[in-house]
């Protein structure tokens, strides 16, 4: 995981006005809005790398409620179109929503179903999908 965090930081684009990283209090507030606990991998992802800009995919963030990537808004939109409520979207993509399960497994929800390809953790997804 630490090597993936370093790789993500090295791959990040520099931006004039970046987002701040959240703290634990921010995540508790988000969990209260979602009525669902944030899985451990997503929690660490948000605390460590949610301020990075890499490529065209924009994973969810929690520090700016006005951002189009704000987790509660992305989750509400995803759940409205049929993403199962037990999955938390981590990233909206042209092909659907990448989501995380309670077991920290990442899958792609596309159309009206979950696709077969999965990633065992958000860190595998970040290395194989977000960076590329």
CATH number at 62 reads: 3.40.1580.10
CA 16 vs. chain centroid, Å, equals: 22
Q: Is 108 contained in some domain? A: yes
What is the span of the domain harbouring residue 94? 21-130
Q: Is 105 contained in some domain? A: yes
Tens-place pLDDT, residues 32-88: 999 999 999 999 999 999 999 999 999 999 999 999 999 999 999 999 999 999 999
**Residue position matching structure tokens 């951002």:** 67
Q: Is 31 contained in some domain? A: yes
Is-above-0.85 flag for pTM?
A: yes
Per-residue confidence (pLDDT) for residue 70, from 0 to 100: 97
CA 43 vs. chain centroid, Å, equals: 9
In the predicted structure, residue 16 carries a pLDDT above the cut 80: no
Q: What is the mean pLDDT of the chain?
A: 95
Per-residue confidence (pLDDT) for residue 77, from 0 to 100: 97
What separation in angstroms does the CA of 63 have from each of 25, 33, 47?
Answer: 11, 14, 10
R_g over Cα of the chain = 14
Q: Is 7 contained in some domain? A: no
Distance CA 73, CA 75 (A): 5
- Is 59 in contact with 91 (CB distance < 8 Å)? yes
pLDDT band at 17, cuts 50/70/90?
confident
Tens-place pLDDT, residues 109-131: 998 899 999 999 999 999 999 99
Q: Is 3 contained in some domain? A: no
């Amino acid at each position: 995981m630490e090597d993936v965090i370093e790789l993500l930081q090295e791959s990040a684009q520099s931006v004039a006005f970046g987002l701040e990283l959240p703290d634990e209090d921010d995540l508790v507030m988000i969990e209260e809005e979602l009525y669902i606990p944030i899985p451990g991998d997503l929690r660490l992802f948000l605390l460590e790398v949610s301020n990075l800009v890499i490529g065209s995919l924009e994973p969810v963030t929690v520090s700016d409620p006005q951002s189009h990537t704000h987790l509660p808004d992305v989750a509400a939109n995803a759940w409205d179109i049929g993403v199962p409520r037990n999955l938390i979207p981590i990233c909206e993509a042209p092909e659907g929503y990448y989501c995380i399960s309670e077991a920290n497994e990442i899958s792609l929800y596309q159309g009206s179903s979950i696709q077969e390809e999965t990633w065992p953790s958000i860190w595998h997804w970040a290395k194989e999908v977000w960076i590329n």
